[in-house]
């Protein structure tokens, strides 16, 4: 991905083109709302009100993750649902499996907080979508993590197809301020968990205890119980050196942790290794969602 402002600029160009269709060209589409009478009667004002609910263009922040185990690297495109004929803007290119991009909190991409269409395709195959969402509402002041998850080729009736999982990384912040008022304390560590393994049933997450002869786990603290595909937990405070065991029906499926940093909020994703004979093989990956400035020197957002 290029610099974090490029996506916003490209989508604003689409807004300008949309304005041209309604009689306001280029940057005039943004100015039209300021010059209008508030009743939607000025050239372009009605279109801008339609796209922004009369609130003007505000900004959200976004990053994308690829956790579809049987899909190749992917591209992500955005488009204006009302003006699809104007084309599509690349938001991410060549996103590799298990990548969460960016994995640096200060580098989420800026994006206009308006309803946008999203299309995910195999890298370089723009006209071959594996999933498409015609209307996704980005929320102003929120940090979004959007995951392509599921299976491209389902092997059973109960395996979920490719879909877009949406996470808000600062959903408790009021007013929404891109997480700036919700940064973790420099001496504390937080983790949330996301179930993104298509062929796993209900899973539980606990701190590492003892593994019994039959493969079951005992002695750890249970943090999550009976999570199903697509579930995401709230953040919980943990020790930076905690190891977490993800189990299904009492049997260990994956472990992660032991190296989280103080002063961070993190997400742990239950995913799979790339498919191979014998089925999916679970493991866990993690991303950093927020960092105390004293810990990782996150620049001002």
172 and 69 share one domain:
yes
Domain count, the chain: 2
Picking from 132, 159, 181, the residue at the C-terminal end of a domain is 181
Spatial CA neighbour of 12 closest among 141, 135, 143, 110: 110
Q: Where residue 116 sits, what CATH number does that domain have?
A: 2.60.40
241 pLDDT higher than 80: yes
Which among 181, 199, 218 is the end of a domain?
181
How high is the pLDDT of residue 123? Answer: 97
Q: CA 89, 286, 144: angle at the middle one, nearest 5? A: 35
Pairing label, strands 115-122, 89-95: unpaired
Strands (DSSP E) found in the chain = 59-67, 74-79, 89-95, 100-101, 109-112, 115-122, 131-137, 143-149, 163-168, 189-195, 203-207, 210-211, 217-218, 222-227, 236-238, 243-248, 251-257, 264-272, 282-291
The predicted pLDDT at position 40 comes to 43
Alpha carbon distance 141, 136 (integer Å): 15
Residue 211 and residue 146 share a domain: no
Nearest to 291 by CA among 281, 282, 278, 300: 300
Residue 193 lies in a domain: yes
Question: Does residue 12 sit within a domain?
Answer: no
Closest by CA position to 72, among listed 229, 273, 270, 274: 274
Q: Give the mean pLDDT of 272-284.
A: 70
Residue 53 forms part of a structural domain: no
Q: Domain of 228: which CATH number?
A: 2.60.40.2890
Confidence at 27, pLDDT banded by 50, 70, 90: very low
192 and 169 within one domain: no
For residues 67 and 162, state if they share a domain.
yes
Domain finish residue from 181, 204, 239: 181
- Tell me which of 177-186, 223-232, 269-278 is least confident: 269-278
Report the C-alpha gap between 168 and 55 in whole angstroms: 21
Same domain for 134 and 198 = no
Per-residue pLDDT tens digits for 194-229: 999 888 889 989 887 666 666 565 667 888 889 999
Burial of 177 (0-12, 13-18, 19+ CB in 10 A): middle
CA 144 to chain CA mean position, Å: 5
Residues 217, 127 within the same domain: no
Q: Is residue 33 part of a domain?
A: no
Does residue 103 share a domain with residue 129? Answer: yes
Asked if residue 146 is part of any domain, the answer here is yes
Strand partners, 161: 151
Q: What is the pLDDT of residues 66-101, one digit of tens each?
A: 999 989 999 999 998 888 888 888 889 999 999 999
Residues 166 and 64 in one domain: yes
Residue 218 in domain = yes
22 assigned to some structural domain: no
What is the residue range of 284's domain? Answer: 183-295
Do 209 and 172 lie in one domain? The reply is no
């Amino acid at each position: 991905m290029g610099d974090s402002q490029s996506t916003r600029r490209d989508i604003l160009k689409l807004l300008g083109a949309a304005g041209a269709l309604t009689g306001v060209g280029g940057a005039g589409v943004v100015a039209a709302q300021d010059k209008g009478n508030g009743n939607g009667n000025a050239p372009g004002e009605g279109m801008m009100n339609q796209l922004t609910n009369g609130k003007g263009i505000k900004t959200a922040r976004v990053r994308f993750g690829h956790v579809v185990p049987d899909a190749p690297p992917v591209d992500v495109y955005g488009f204006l649902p009302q003006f699809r004929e104007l084309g599509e803007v690349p938001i991410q290119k060549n996103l590799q499996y298990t990548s969460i991009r960016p994995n640096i909190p200060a580098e989420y991409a800026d994006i206009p907080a308006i309803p946008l269409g999203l299309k995910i395709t195999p890298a370089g195959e723009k006209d071959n979508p594996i999933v498409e969402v015609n209307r996704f509402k980005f929320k102003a002041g929120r940090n979004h993590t959007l995951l392509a998850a599921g299976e491209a080729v389902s092997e059973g009736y109960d395996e979920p197809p490719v879909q877009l999982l949406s996470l808000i990384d600062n959903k408790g912040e009021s007013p929404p301020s891109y997480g700036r008022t919700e940064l973790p304390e420099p001496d504390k560590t937080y983790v949330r968990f996301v179930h993104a393994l298509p062929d796993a049933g209900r899973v539980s997450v606990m701190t590492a205890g003892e593994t019994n002869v039959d493969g079951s786990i005992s002695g750890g603290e249970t943090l999550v119980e009976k999570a199903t595909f697509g579930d995401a937990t709230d953040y919980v405070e943990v020790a930076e050196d905690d190891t977490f065991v993800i189990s299904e029906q009492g049997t260990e499926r994956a472990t992660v942790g032991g190296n989280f940093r103080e002063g961070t909020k993190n997400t742990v994703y239950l995913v799979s290794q790339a498919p191979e004979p014998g089925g999916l093989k679970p493991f866990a990956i993690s991303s950093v969602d927020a960092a105390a400035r004293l810990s990782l020197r996150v620049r001002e957002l």
